[in-house]
Structures are given as C-alpha cells and as structure tokens.
Chains A and B, each alone.
Chain A
Amino acid sequence: MNPAELTHTIVFYGLALVSIVAALLVVTVKRIFRAAVALATVLVCGAGFYILLDYDFIAGIQLLVYVGGIVILIVFAVMLTSSLEDTEIRPSKSRKALGIISSLGFLATALIAFQSTSFPLSAPTPEQPSDVALEIGRKLLGYGSDGYVLPFEIISLLLLSAVIGAIVVARNPLKKSSDLSGQSEQSDGSAT
C-alpha cells in the first residue's frame, strides 16, 4: 500500500466516521438547532468525499449550495418556527421501533443487493477529463445526444417556480381574508 493510498484510506474512514456520527446526531438530538449544525457537518464531510472521488468542482458546489444555502435556509426555518431553546419531544417507542426496523431492513436489503451484484467496473486508472468543470459546462449546455440542455432549462424553471411558490405560500394572507381565517386559525389552534 503506497502512502497516497494509505492517506486516501485513512481520510475515507475518518470522514466516514465523522459523517455517520453527525448523521445520527441529525436524526436524534432533541434541540433542532444542534441538528442543523450536525447536518452542516455531514454535508461538509460529503464535500470531502467528493474530493476523495476526484470531483473537486462538485465538492465546491456542495459547499456553496448545500452548506452555504440550504443549511442557512434550514436555520432560518428553525428560527421562524421555534425558538433556539426549543427541545423536541421524543418519538413514541413504537414509532422508534418501526423506524429502526424499517431502516435496518432497508440497509440489509441494499447491502445484500450490492454484495450479490457484480458491477461492470471501469479500468483501474482511466484518464479523467482534464477540466471537469469545463466538461460539465459543455454537457449542461450541449444540444447533442449527450447534452443536458433540456433538463437544465427544466431545473431553471423548477427553481423559479419553487421561489415564486414559496413566496405565495409563506406570505401573509390578504388583510380581509386574514381576519376571517385568523378566527378559524384561532379555533384550530385551541383545538389542537
């Protein structure tokens, strides 16, 4: 095992350990804000994995969009819907058991499937495109049979409509109807 490979292996296991622990924290800690921090950790580790896989550009995007955008968004959501000190009530025992059984079942199934499948691996050291970012850009805007210009445009539309939709859903209702719905909200709130 050469030093580069050793480093690679050590880094992999280290990151894996960190990200799995962080992921477990994400799904278990009572304080939702801490969960958000743990999520950020997982995502940063994810970027590390991408670098290990030689996708530096994607790792950068991951950091920018996921860590810089989505996690911030989630933090906003946490702040808007509950105070930082809020703790979550533990899930019921049966719900927990169901979750453990289902997720472990899925894990086992998937692992057995991976184990028993022989994937057509490519050659051990095939050449990587010199500039991945350039190649991705060419792919995204390519018209040819291997181009992704149509999905690219659809994703643009999706983002646009998500933004508009988010504004429509989240904004305050109109003044007149807010009075009416305000009353019903009041009664709803007291009922639940």
Chain B
Amino acid sequence: MSFVPGLFHWLCLSTILFSIGLYGVMTRRNAVGVLMSVELLLNSAAMNFLIFNHFAAKPFIDGAVMALFIIAVAAAEAVVAMALFVAIFRSRKTVDVTQIDTLKG
C-alpha cells in the first residue's frame, strides 16, 4: 500500500476526526464542549464531500457547494446553540449536560 495519500487515506483521516468528535459528543460534560465536538463532526463531513468531489467527480464542483452549505448550517447551529446555552445557564446556573436530565423516564 502506497503512502501517497489517495482516497482511502483521506477517508481515514476524516473518519478518525469524525470518531473523535463522536467520542466528544458522548463524553463531554460541558455543553459548549459538546457543541465543539459537533463542530468536529460537521467539519469532517464537509471534508468528506470535498474528498469525494476531488477523487471521484473532478470536473464538477457540487461537493464544494455542499461543503459551503454545511459551513452555513454549522454557523446557524452554533448561533442557536449558543443562545440556548445562555438561556439554560441563566435558569440553571450550569451547562453540565449530565445534570440536564428532565427527559428522564
């Protein structure tokens, strides 16, 4: 197997980043930390679009357009999430997600 970065190497990279993000989503106690992990996920997803566009659909740039959309959605998500954290913090004095468990059965 060649060390020259091909499709598989790139996919490995993005998947590793994605898995790290997943780990963060599942373990971070601070809600802002969870948000950052989610940003990792989104980032690796955008990267995946570009990787496939680069290796499999070269003359077209639809993947790049998708990456743009993802960045826009990430921005919107970050805005809303920040507003929610501020509201939650105001009412609960904490943003520890393990203590926000009103969904408990």
Contact = CB atoms under 8 A, between A and B. Distances in A.
Interface of A: 1, 5, 8-9, 12-13, 16, 19-20, 23-24, 26-27, 32, 35-36, 39, 42-43, 46, 49-50, 53-55, 57-58, 61-62, 65-66, 69-70, 73-74, 76-78, 80-82, 88-89, 91, 95-96, 98-100, 102-104, 106-107, 110-111, 114-115, 119-123, 126-129, 132, 135-136, 139-140, 146, 148, 151, 155, 158-159, 162-163, 165-170, 181, 185, 188-189, 192
Contacts of B26: 95, 98-99, 102-103
B105 interface: no
Given A42-B43, A65-B75, A78-B32, A122 B58 contact: yes
18 contacts: A5-B4, A23-B17, A23-B21, A24-B20, A42-B40, A53-B10, A58-B68, A70-B74, A74-B39, A80-B82, A81-B95, A82-B30, A88-B30, A128-B58, A132-B64, A140-B68, A170-B84, A185-B91
A100 B68 CA distance: 31
Given A9-B4, A27-B37, A53-B50, A132 B61 contact: yes
Contact of B85 (A77, A167, A181): A77
Contacts of A166: 79-80, 82-83
A16 B35 CA distance: 22
A192 B99 contact: yes
A126 B58 CA distance: 6
A99 B27 contact: yes
A32 to B, nearest CB: 5
Interface string B91-105: 111111011000000
Nearest to B20: A23
A80 B67 CA distance: 30
B66 to A, nearest CB: 9
Given A55-B50, A192-B99, 6 more contacts: A27-B27, A42-B40, A77-B86, A158-B72, A165-B80, A189-B93
Nearest to B17: A23
A100 B36 CA distance: 18
B54 A53 contact: yes
A136 B31 CA distance: 35
Contacts of A32: 30, 32-33
